[in-house]
Amino acid sequence: MSMTEIVSFLDLSVFPSVALIFFLAAFFAILWRVLSKPRSESEMEANIPLNDDVVLMPRYTVKNEQADDKGVSRG
Amino acid sequence: MAEQAAQETNGGATKHPDQSGLESFVYDDNIVRMFSWATVIWGIVAFLVGVIIAVELAFPEAGMGISFLSFGRLRPLHTNAAIFAFAGNGIFAAIYYSTQRLCKARMWSDTLSKLHFWGWQLIIVSAALTLPFGITQGKEYAELEWPIDIAIAVVWLVFFGGNFLMTLIHRRERHIYVALWFYIATIVTVTMLHVFNNLWIPAGLVYLFQNGEMPSAELALKSYPVYAGVQDALMQWWYGHNAVAFFLTTPFLGLMYYFLPKAAERPVFSYKLSIIHFWSLIFIYIWAGPHHLHYTALPEWASTVGMVFSVMLWMPSWGGMINGLMTLRGAWDRVASDPILKFFVVGVTFYGMSTFEGPLLSVKSVNSLSHYTDWTIAHVHSGVLGWNGFMTFGMLYWMMPRLFQTKLHSKKLCAMHFWLGTAGMVLYILSIYAAGITQGLMWRAFDESGRLTYPAFIETVTVLIPMYWIRVVGGLLYLSGAIVGLINLFQTWRSRPAKYEEVVHYAPALSKGYDNDPKAKSRLHANTALGDAGDKFLQGDWHRALERKPVKFTIWVLVAVAIGGIVEAIPMFLVSSNVPTISTVEPYTPLELAGRDIYVAEGCYNCHSQMIRPFLWETMRYGEYSKPGEFVYDHPFQWGSRRIGPDLAREGGLRTHLWHYRHFKNPADVSESSIMPRYTWLLNNKINFDEIQGRVDSMALLGVPYGEMLKDNNSVENAKEQALVIALELEDQGGPAAQETMDKKVIALIAYLQRMGTDISKEPAPTDDVVDAEVSP
C-alpha cells in the first residue's frame, strides 16, 4: 500500500480538530512548566539582559597591553 | 599562527592570567556597526522605491514608459528591499549585538561574521540588478532567481546560522535567554521555508546539458518551480505567511525582549509569559498560511486549518505585546521625554494592532471582502512601517551611540524622526484602509435590478486616486523621517573617539558537562522509577534542560515548526482528489509558454489576479469560477494577491489581438483613465526563439506532457508558426503589418492572454467508447 493510498483514506475534514488537539497538548505542557517554575529562577533569567554588560574586572582598552594587538580601527 | 587560528574560531577568548577560571573576551562590535549602517542605507532605498511606485499608481506616466521603472518590476524590488535589506540587516545588527552579550561570548568566528555581512549585501545588490530587469521567479517575496536562492541558503544557514549556533555552544551564560530562542526559531524556520519553496529546475542548465550551449543569459537565470498550480500556491503562501512570521516577527520579538528592557532599564514584565509566548507563537504560526487562499481553488479543509490557527494566533501575539508594553511599568513618565522609548512603544503597539488585524482578516467572511484589495496592503504596511520599522529605529538610536562610544547627536532630530514617521504611517495606513474597503464594497455592490452597480472595473480604480495621493504624502513623510535619522546617526558617528575602546570582559567558562542546577528531586515516597521520573517531569526539569542545551532546543523548535507544514503539505501532495483533473486542460503551446514567462517577468501578478472566487459578484464580472484542475501546468502559479487591475483568469478570447496590442502600446487608448503603465518595449523587443526549446524541455522534466514538441527543435518551429498566425490576425484587425510584429514579445504575450481560462470551455475529445457508440448501428 503506497503512502498516497494511506493518506487518501484519511478524512481530511478532521484535520483542523486534530491540529487543535496537537496544539492544546503542547500548550498545556508548556503552561505547566511555566507555572511550576520558581519565581526566583524566572527573575534571575529575566535580568540577564540587564547584567550582560557587567565587567567583572577593571576596564582594559586597546591602549592597554591586554589588547594591544587587536588592530581596532574606526568603523 | 595556530594560536591565532584557535582564537579566531573561539571568540578570541583567552585565559586571564590573574584570575583562575576566568576567561577574557571582547565583543565584536565592528560587525554590528556594519549591519547597522547597512540597515539605515537600505531602509532609505526601500522607502524611496516605495514612494516611487506609490507615485506611479497615482500618476502612471511617472514610469515614463521605461521598462525597469514599471510598477510590476519595481514593486518586487520594494518588497525585497524592505524585508530582506532593511529589516534583514536590522535583525542581523540586533542579533550580533545581543547574542554576544547574552552569551557572554564573542561571535564564534569573525570570518563567518564578515562572510555573512558581505554575502548578504551581495545578495541585495544582485536583487537590485535582476528584479528591475524582469529576472524573477514570479512568486511574491520569493522572486529572486535560482543562483541568488543558492547564495541565500549558503549565507543564511552556513555563515549566519553556523556562526550563531557555535556561539551558543561556546557561551558563558548557562541559561539561554528567551530572545535567543526567537533567534533560533528564525534561523531554523527561514531555512526550512526557503529551501522547500525554492525547489526548481534551472531551464538554462537543462538546455546546456542537452545541447552543450547556452542561448542567452536570460535563459541561464530562468527557473521553473517543481510545484504547479494549487500545490505551488500552498507552498508559496506557507512560505509567504511564515516569512512574515519568522523574518518579520520572531527576530523582532527577540529584539524586543532584549532591547526594550535595556532601554527601559528594567527586566521584562513576565519571563514566564515570554516562554508561553514563544512556544505558542512558533507552534501556531506555521499553520496559518492557507488563510491567504480562502475561496480559491485550494481545498476547503486546508483553508479552514489556516483560519482556525490564525485566530488562535491572536492570543500569543497579544501576550507578547502586553509583555512588551508592561515592561515599561514604572517608566511611563520617561516615554514622554525619551524618543527612543517612544519608538519602542509605538512599535509594540503596532505589533498588537497588526496581530489583531491579521486574525481578523483570516476569518473567511472578512477575507471575502478584504482579499485582493488594498486593505491587505494597509495591513502589511502597519506591520512593516510600524512594528519592524519603529522597533529597528528604536534599537538603532539606543545602540549606535553606544557602538560609536559617544552620545546621540540630537535628541530633537530623533524626536522629529519619530513624529515624521508616525504622521506618515497614519496618513499612509488610513488612506489605504479607506481605499481597500472602498474597492471591496464596490466590487460586490449590486443594484436593485440584481446587476453589478459598477460593472466597469475602471470605476473602482479611479475612485481611489485621491487616496493614492495621500499615500504618497504619507510615504514621503516616512522617508523624510528616515533621512533625518540618517543625518542624526551620521553626525553621531562623526563625534566618535579617535580610536574605539575595546572593553575586555571576564566570565568563567561553562563546565563541560551539563549542569542541571537546581536538579529536580522526586517528591514521592513511592519507590517506583516511573513515578519518580513522572514527578521530575512535572517539576519542569525537561524544559530547564532545553533552556540550557542549544542543539536539543534547536531540534525541538524544528519539530514544532515542521508539524504544521507536514500536516498541511502531505495530504495536498499525495491526495489526488485535492486537484481533480480536467480532461480539456492541456499544456501551453511553446509560444504561449514564452508569453507566460513574459507575464511573469513583467510582474503582471503584482496587479492582476488569475483566480475567480465562487461569489456571484465575481462570476458575474469575470465568468466561471476557477477550478483546481485548470492550473496543473502552471509552473509557477500566478493567482496574484491583489487587483489593482481586473482578474485575468478568463481573459482568453474576450478581446481582439488588436485591443491587446493597443493596450500595451498605451492603455489609455482603449481604457480611458487606466493606471496601467505603457509597455512599449514589448512592441519592439524580439522573442528569442532559440530559448523556447529549453523552456519546453524544462517543463517536460517537470511532468508536462509535451510529446512531439520535445523532438528536433519542434517547439521553435511551432512557436514561429503560431506567432505568424497571430501577427496575420492582428494585421487583419487593423494592426501593423505581420512582418513587423511576428517576432515581437507582444505577440507571445497576446498568445498567452488569449489562451487564459479557455480550456475549461472546450469540448472534450471523444473517447474510444463514444466513438464506438457513434459507429455502432
Task: Copy the grid coordinates of residue B584.
Answer: 480539456
Residue of A nearest to B313 (CA): A23
Per-residue model confidence (pLDDT) at position B524: 64
Query: Cβ separation of B577 and A8 shorter than 8 Å?
Result: yes
Are B31 and B515 within 8 A, CB to CB? Answer: no
Per-residue model confidence (pLDDT) at position B580: 77
* Interface test mutation site (partner A, options B502, B517, B541, B576, max chain A beta carbons within 10 A): B502
> In chain A, pLDDT over 70 holds for what percent of residues?
49
Nearest CB partner across the interface for B267, out of A27, A36, A47: A47
Per-residue model confidence (pLDDT) at position B531: 72
Residue A72 lies in a domain: no
Per-residue model confidence (pLDDT) at position B581: 82
pLDDT band at B305 (very low <50, low <70, confident <90, very high): confident
When pLDDT is averaged across residues B596-602 and rounded to a whole number, the result is 97
Residue A19 lies in a domain: yes
The C-alpha of A1 sits at a distance from chain B's nearest C-alpha, in angstroms, of 13
* Interface test mutation site (partner B, options A12, A21, A54, max chain B beta carbons within 10 A): A12
The whole domain housing A32 covers: 3-67
Specify the 3-state DSSP secondary structure of B686.
Answer: strand
B689 or B331, which is more confident: B689
- Judging contacts by C-beta atoms under 8 Å, the chain B residues touching residue A43 are 267, 271
Residue of A nearest to B499 (CA): A74
Query: Cβ separation of B26 and A16 shorter than 8 Å?
Result: no
> In chain B, pLDDT over 90 holds for what percent of residues?
73
When pLDDT is averaged across residues B482-500 and rounded to a whole number, the result is 96
pLDDT band at B244 (very low <50, low <70, confident <90, very high): confident
Task: Copy the grid coordinates of residue A27.
Answer: 500548550
The C-alpha of A12 sits at a distance from chain B's nearest C-alpha, in angstroms, of 6
Are B259 and B202 within 8 A, CB to CB? Answer: no
- Judging contacts by C-beta atoms under 8 Å, the chain B residues touching residue A75 are 29-30, 33-34, 403, 500
Specify the 3-state DSSP secondary structure of B642.
Answer: strand
The C-alpha of B16 sits at a distance from chain A's nearest C-alpha, in angstroms, of 9
Number of CB pairs < 8 Å for A and B?
165
* Tens digit of each residue's pLDDT (9 = 90 or more) over B694-706: 999 999 999 999 9
Residue A51 lies in a domain: yes
- Judging contacts by C-beta atoms under 8 Å, the chain B residues touching residue A61 are 501-503
Smallest CA-to-CA distance from B303 within B614, B71, B583 is with: B614
Per-residue model confidence (pLDDT) at position B18: 52
* Interface test mutation site (partner A, options B23, B29, B35, B275, max chain A beta carbons within 10 A): B275
Per-residue model confidence (pLDDT) at position B8: 47
Residue B27 has pLDDT above 60, yes or no: yes
Are B344 and B257 within 8 A, CB to CB? Answer: no
* Tens digit of each residue's pLDDT (9 = 90 or more) over B632-649: 999 999 999 999 999 999
Query: Cβ separation of B173 and A59 shorter than 8 Å?
Result: no
Residue of A nearest to B405 (CA): A74
* Tens digit of each residue's pLDDT (9 = 90 or more) over B41-96: 999 999 999 999 999 999 988 988 899 999 999 999 999 999 999 999 999 999 99
Residue of B nearest to A28 (CA): B276
d(CA B156, CA A70): 28
Residue B490 has pLDDT above 90, yes or no: yes
> In chain B, pLDDT over 70 holds for what percent of residues?
92
Per-residue model confidence (pLDDT) at position B771: 44
* Tens digit of each residue's pLDDT (9 = 90 or more) over B673-687: 999 999 999 999 999
Of B383-392, B588-597, B765-774, minimum mean pLDDT range: B765-774
d(CA B718, CA B705): 16
Nearest CB partner across the interface for B261, out of A10, A50, A74: A50
CATH of domain B651-761: 1.10.760.10
Task: Copy the grid coordinates of residue B95.
Answer: 542579533
Query: Cβ separation of A67 and B504 shorter than 8 Å?
Result: yes
The C-alpha of B195 sits at a distance from chain A's nearest C-alpha, in angstroms, of 23
* Interface test mutation site (partner B, options A43, A52, A55, max chain B beta carbons within 10 A): A52
Name the residue with cell 484519511: A10
Residues whose CB falls within 8 Å of the CB of residue B764, separated by 6 or more in sequence, listed in order: B583, B584
The C-alpha of B417 sits at a distance from chain A's nearest C-alpha, in angstroms, of 24
Query: Cβ separation of B504 and A56 shorter than 8 Å?
Result: no
When pLDDT is averaged across residues B434-453 and rounded to a whole number, the result is 96
Per-residue model confidence (pLDDT) at position B441: 97
pLDDT band at B187 (very low <50, low <70, confident <90, very high): very high
The total domain count for chain A is 1
Q: What is the DSSP string of B482-538?
A: HHHHHHHHHHHHHTS-SS---PPEEEEPPPSS---SSPP-----S--HHHHHHHHHH
The phi and psi torsions of B401 (rounded to 5 degrees) equal -60, -35
* Tens digit of each residue's pLDDT (9 = 90 or more) over B723-732: 999 999 999 9
Residue B97 has pLDDT above 80, yes or no: yes
* Interface test mutation site (partner A, options B103, B231, B305, B329, max chain A beta carbons within 10 A): B305
Nearest CB partner across the interface for B570, out of A7, A13, A35: A7
Could you say which DSSP state residue B354 is in?
A: H
B453 or B210, which is more confident: B453
When pLDDT is averaged across residues B741-757 and rounded to a whole number, the result is 96
pLDDT band at B287 (very low <50, low <70, confident <90, very high): confident
Residue A74 lies in a domain: no
Query: Cβ separation of B16 and A49 shorter than 8 Å?
Result: no
- Judging contacts by C-beta atoms under 8 Å, the chain A residues touching residue B499 are 62-63, 72-74
Burial class (CB in 10 A: 0-12, 13-18, 19+), B550: buried
* Tens digit of each residue's pLDDT (9 = 90 or more) over B115-143: 999 999 999 999 999 999 999 999 999 99
Residue B428 has pLDDT above 50, yes or no: yes
Sign of torsion over alpha carbons B281, B286, B290, B292: positive
The C-alpha of B368 sits at a distance from chain A's nearest C-alpha, in angstroms, of 20
B526 or A72, which is more confident: B526
As a whole number, the mean pLDDT across chain B is: 90
d(CA B91, CA B399): 13
* Tens digit of each residue's pLDDT (9 = 90 or more) over A30-57: 888 888 888 888 888 898 888 876 555 4
B2-494 homologous superfamily: Cytochrome c oxidase-like, subunit I domain (1.20.210.10)
pLDDT band at A59 (very low <50, low <70, confident <90, very high): very low
Query: Cβ separation of A18 and B567 shorter than 8 Å?
Result: yes
Task: Copy the grid coordinates of residue B696.
Answer: 519546453
Sign of torsion over alpha carbons B170, B175, B179, B184: positive
Nearest CB partner across the interface for B275, out of A34, A44, A52: A34
Are B119 and B162 within 8 A, CB to CB? Answer: no
Query: Cβ separation of A12 and B299 shorter than 8 Å?
Result: yes
- Judging contacts by C-beta atoms under 8 Å, the chain A residues touching residue B179 are 49
Residue B530 has pLDDT above 50, yes or no: yes
d(CA B568, CA B238): 9
- The domain spans of chain B are 2-494, 651-761
pLDDT band at B210 (very low <50, low <70, confident <90, very high): confident
pTM reported for the whole predicted model: 0.89
Residue B405 has pLDDT above 70, yes or no: yes
pLDDT band at B508 (very low <50, low <70, confident <90, very high): confident
Query: Cβ separation of B571 and A12 shorter than 8 Å?
Result: yes
Query: Cβ separation of A74 and B26 shorter than 8 Å?
Result: no
The phi and psi torsions of B390 (rounded to 5 degrees) equal -75, -35
Burial class (CB in 10 A: 0-12, 13-18, 19+), B41: middle
- Residue B733: CB atoms within 10 A of its CB come to 12
- Residue B155: CB atoms within 10 A of its CB come to 21
When pLDDT is averaged across residues B561-573 and rounded to a whole number, the result is 76
Alpha helices in B202-270 (DSSP H): 203-211, 217-220, 229-247, 250-264
Instruction: Say yes or no: do domains B2-494 and B651-761 share a fold.
Output: no
When pLDDT is averaged across residues B568-576 and rounded to a whole number, the result is 70
Could you say which DSSP state residue B674 is in?
A: -
Query: Cβ separation of B22 and A49 shorter than 8 Å?
Result: no
The C-alpha of B49 sits at a distance from chain A's nearest C-alpha, in angstroms, of 28
Per-residue model confidence (pLDDT) at position B65: 87
pLDDT band at B533 (very low <50, low <70, confident <90, very high): confident
- Judging contacts by C-beta atoms under 8 Å, the chain A residues touching residue B575 are 4, 7-8, 10, 12
Per-residue model confidence (pLDDT) at position B775: 41
The C-alpha of B263 sits at a distance from chain A's nearest C-alpha, in angstroms, of 10
When pLDDT is averaged across residues B144-160 and rounded to a whole number, the result is 96
* Tens digit of each residue's pLDDT (9 = 90 or more) over B3-25: 444 444 455 555 555 555 788 89
Task: Copy the grid coordinates of residue B604.
Answer: 503582471
